[in-house]
Amino acid sequence: MANPLKGEVIRLYKTLLYLGREYPKGAAYFRERLKYAFMKNKDETDPEKIKQLVARGDHVIKELEALYFLRKYRAMKKRYYDPEK
C-alpha cells in the first residue's frame, strides 16, 4: 500500500468500525463484512485504485449515516405523532 494513502485507509477503517456498532444486523456481522472487504483489497498498490476504493468507502459512510438518521427520525415520529392520522 502506498504510504501517503495508508493514513486515509486506516481513518476509513476506524470510522466504518465505529459506525458499524449500531448496524441493524449487529456489530459482529458488520465487522466481519468490513474485515473481508478490506482484506480483499489489501494487496492493491495502484494509488488511483486506492483513491477510488477510499471514495467508495466514504460513500458507504454517508449511506450509513443516512440509515441511522432515518431510523432516529422514524423512532421520534412514532413516539410523538398520533399513529391514527
Asked whether 15 and 59 are in contact (CB, 8 A), the reply is: no
| Range of the structural domain that residue 67 is part of | 4-81
Q: Counting Cβ atoms within 10 Å, is residue 61 exposed (0-12), middle (13-18) or buried (19+)?
A: middle
Task: Please give the Cα distance from 41 to 74 (Å, whole number).
Answer: 36
Flag whether pLDDT at 81 surpasses 90.
Answer: no
Contact 46, 63 (CB under 8 A): no
pLDDT of residue 2: 43
| Number of domains composing the chain | 1
Q: What is the pLDDT of residue 74?
A: 87
pLDDT in tens, 14-49: 999 999 998 989 999 999 999 999 999 999 889 999
pLDDT, one tens digit per residue, over 52-76 is 999 999 999 999 999 999 988 888 8
Does this model's pTM top 0.85? My answer is no
Rounded Cα distance, 5 and 51, in Å: 8
Q: Is the pLDDT of residue 1 over 60?
A: no
